[in-house]
Amino acid sequence: MYNDWFSIGPLTIHGYGVMIAVGILAAVWLAEKLSKRFDLDAERVDNMIFFILVCGFACSKLIYCLTVLDELIKDPLSVLGSGGWVVYGGIIGGILGAWGWCRHHGWDFMRYLNILIVTVPLAQTFGRIGCFFAGCCYGKATDAWYGLHFPEGSLCPIHTGVIPTQLLSAAGNLMIFLFLYYRLTKKNKVEDTGAWYLILYSVGRFMMEFLRGDLARGFIGSLSTSQFIAVFTALIGAWLIWRRQKKEMIS
| Predicted pLDDT of residue 205 | 96
| Predicted pLDDT of residue 251 | 67
Could you tell me whether strands 223-224 and 219-220 are parallel, antiparallel, or unpaired per DSSP bridges? Answer: antiparallel
- Domains in the chain: how many in total? 1
| Predicted pLDDT of residue 100 | 97
Low-confidence residues of the chain: pLDDT under 50: none
Distance CA 96, CA 89 (A): 10
pLDDT tens sequence across 171-207:
999 999 999 999 999 988 899 999 999 999 999 999 9
Task: Provide the whole-model pTM.
Answer: 0.90
| Predicted pLDDT of residue 112 | 96
Residues with Cβ within 8 Å of residue 88, at least 6 apart in sequence: 63, 205, 225, 226, 229, 230, 233
Distance CA 224, CA 177 (A): 25
163 within 8 A of 140, measured Cβ to Cβ: yes
Distance CA 94, CA 165 (A): 24
Range(s) of the domain holding residue 142: 4-250
Cβ of 145: how many Cβ atoms within 10 Å?
6
